[in-house]
Amino acid sequence: MTIKYNSLKSLAFDNSFIRELPADPQSANYRRQVFGACYSIVKPTPVLYPKLIAYSKEAAALLDLSEDACNDDEFVQVFSGNRLLFGMEPYAACYGGHQFGNWAGQLGDGRAINLGEVINSRSERWTLQLKGAGATPYSRNADGLAVLRSSVREFLCSEAMFHLGVPTTRALSLISTGEMVERDMFYDGNPKDEHGAIVCRLAQSFTRFGNFEIFTARNDIKTLKKLLDYTIHIDFPHLIGHQNIKEELTWQSYLKWFEEVCIRTADLLVEWMRVGFVHGVMNTDNMSALGLTIDYGPYGWLDNYDPNWTPNTTDRAGRRYRFGNQPAVAHWNLAQLANAIFPLIGDVEPLKDALNLYSARFKDRWQTMMRAKLGLKSFDSTTDTILINQLFTLFGIAETDMTLFFRKIASYDFTSDWFKSMSQISEKMALLKPFIESYYEPSQLTEEYLFKIVDWFSSYTKRLEKDSRTYKDRQDSMNLVNPKYILRNYLSQLAIDKAEAGDFSMINRLLDMVRSPYSEQPENEEFAVKRPDWARNRAGCSMLSCSS
């Protein structure tokens, strides 16, 4: 018989992380270095006036929770951190990480508190985590709290990425605390009070590369082995065929695990590039061992295509985490993970081979992805690489909205004969008419550019004709990979502006919009447009900080 849960009291907890792994022996909650432990027991800090702003019914369904349960006051009290359910055992995880290419030592869950692991009616394990629920031993000099603006962005983007088909942590709820939090948004000495908020996040696991790095950096190989054994048994049981936590694993098991992490990471990066997502802070402590998008901080979405763009103000000088550099950074981060597990393998060559597996996988999946975005049946390396590179070069010559352009090209229906008689500038402009809304600066559509873009369309048309694919078949397939709606930065900022004034309606409207990013939504057509001029340089739209 299938079990169907409805209320919070029905949640079944099985907190394997704290049951199987070593704990911090110190129970007091004060900032410190924690040694020989994977986590510290800590409780959320109660808040005065919690209020539910929004929840994801799809994320709630992962826990078998009804919508009635989500609208109950108990839901607000639990996921604001004011009340613990039977079976919840809150803790903060210990991990380290490389930040902007440099080892940063111990980091840990400084403003995240895990409530426990729920086993749903489908035997899936989901960890519940509050972000912004108070200080932990890993908060360093911070308060462990989060503000409304960053919480709105995390809540909406988590769900937007899921519906886009990008591997991600999920967001269950967004709750305001009724309290003010002081933040210096741009670290310029001008702090101000902002509204506080808490997001409840869900993931099969929140384990990061940094969870392993910290123990190797401290030469604590015993705890490293315990953590990796646990991770394989619980999160990767298919690699060993069962979940017997007592069995001793071999270096071959660890290598198989690392190979899969490399593959999952490559697949994740391809999806980021497909939809124009820029994570903004790809430190190793923000890289998921499960290949999920994790920690939505100063992220951004490409409006005009620019491989050098980064939304993170902290990264403006070096642009380490710029859009075009994300695949290379992921490879570098995987190399740090390889260094971390090296003591358990003892041979560098198979680890190098696994890293090469990442590169090969990314290249193969990237070609497949670009083929799909352009509506091609297969990838022809002799012609398609040139075709794609030429298109991205043209995007840089005339500021082009990548999302709009790829969505509109699905409706492109010309034949190569049409180009043979084209001679006048007016005819070239007619070709671009359906795409005009994709360009930010019409003055950049010079005669030279028109000749280049027409040449590209001519080559593209000939390439399509080689496939002998019907227009309808091509259009339908392209519209499944080229979204019409993405969570553009300025849309989130508009929702934040309203929310800070007490109006949460746009948050829920955007949540509805991101549920169907590939569908026509006549009621949301106003959101399927390029970034307005006022948002080009506005904080929150074009630039963000790590401040929460």
What are the catalytic residues? 285
Contacts for 252 with CB less than 8 Å, ≥ 6 apart:
none
| Strand 125-131, strand 192-203: pairing | antiparallel
Q: What's the rounded Cα separation, in Å, for the pair 246 and 153?
A: 41
For residue 45, give the nearest of 133, 166, 174, 167 by alpha carbon. Answer: 133
Q: Is 388 exposed, middle or buried (0-12, 13-18, 19+ CB in 10 A)?
A: middle
DSSP-derived secondary structure for 273-288: HHHTEE-S---GGG-B
Q: What's the rounded Cα separation, in Å, for the pair 406 and 384?
A: 16
For residue 543, give the nearest of 487, 507, 489 by alpha carbon. Answer: 489
Q: Is residue 5 within 8 Å of residue 70, measured between CB atoms?
A: no
Number of H helices, E strands in the chain: 18, 11
Residue 409, CA distances (Å) to 19, 56, 431 in order = 53, 32, 11
DSSP state of 37: -
Q: Is residue 540 within 8 Å of residue 488, measured between CB atoms?
A: no
For residue 116, give the nearest of 92, 152, 150 by alpha carbon. Answer: 92
Q: Edge-to-edge strands of the sheet including 39-41? A: 39-41, 91-93, 112-119, 125-131, 192-203, 170-183, 51-55
Q: Is residue 307 within 8 Å of residue 180, measured between CB atoms?
A: no
What's the distance, CA 316 to chain centroid? Answer: 20
- As a whole number of angstroms, the longest Cα–Cα distance in the chain is 80
DSSP-derived secondary structure for 352-365: HHHHHHHHHHHHHH
Q: What's the rounded Cα separation, in Å, for the pair 8 and 70?
A: 9
Contacts for 443 with CB less than 8 Å, ≥ 6 apart:
none
For residue 207, give the nearest of 169, 241, 245 by alpha carbon. Answer: 169
Half-sphere exposure of 56 (CA within 13 A, CB side): 31
For residue 321, give the nearest of 107, 100, 67 by alpha carbon. Answer: 100
When computed from its CA atoms, the radius of gyration of the chain, rounded to whole angstroms, is 24
**Alpha helices by DSSP H, 132-250:** 148-164, 209-217, 221-235
